[in-house]
Amino acid sequence: MTTYLVLGARGSQGGAVARRLAGTGHEVRGLVRDPGGLPGGVNAAIADLADPAQVKAAFDGVTHASVTLPMVFDADATTRYVDNIARAAQAAGVRRLVLNTSNRQPDRPTGVLMFETRRAASETLLASGVPTVVLRPPVYLDNLRAPWVAGPLEQEGVLRYPLPAGLPVAWLSHDDLAALTEAALHRPGIDGEALDIGGPRTVTGPELAAAFSAARGREITYQALAPADFEAGLSSTFGPRVAAGIAATYHWLAEHGDDKIFAGTAADRLGVSLTPLEEALR
Decide if 49 contacts 5 (C-beta within 8 A).
no
Long-range contacts of 148-154 (CB under 8 A, 24+ apart): 148/230, 148/233, 148/234, 148/236, 149/233, 153/212, 153/220
Asked if the domains at 3-138+173-196 and 141-170+200-281 fall in one CATH topology, the answer is no
Decide if 192 contacts 180 (C-beta within 8 A).
no
Residue 236 confidence (pLDDT): 85
| Helices 227-238 and 147-156: angle between axes, nearest 10 degrees | 120
Closest CA to 105 of 128, 83, 123: 123
151: Cβ–Cβ under 8 A, 6 or more apart, which residues? Answer: none
Tens of pLDDT, residue by residue over 170-197, are: 999 999 999 999 999 999 999 999 999 9
Residue 238 confidence (pLDDT): 86
HSE, side-chain direction, 13 A CA sphere, residue 199: 24
**Residue extents of the structural domains in the chain:** 3-138+173-196, 141-170+200-281
Tens of pLDDT, residue by residue over 107-116, are: 999 999 999 9
What stretch of H or E contains 6? strand 3-7
Residue 225 confidence (pLDDT): 95
Residues in the chain: 282
Decide if 65 contacts 88 (C-beta within 8 A).
no
CA dist 190 and 270 (Å) reads 9
Residue 61 confidence (pLDDT): 98
- CATH homologous superfamily of 3-138+173-196 equals NAD(P)-binding Rossmann-like Domain (3.40.50.720)
Residue ranges of the chain with per-residue pLDDT less than 50: none
pTM value > 0.95: yes
The matching CATH number, chosen from 2.70.70.10, 1.10.10.10, 3.40.50.1000, 3.90.25.10, for 141-170+200-281 is 3.90.25.10
Residue 282 confidence (pLDDT): 86
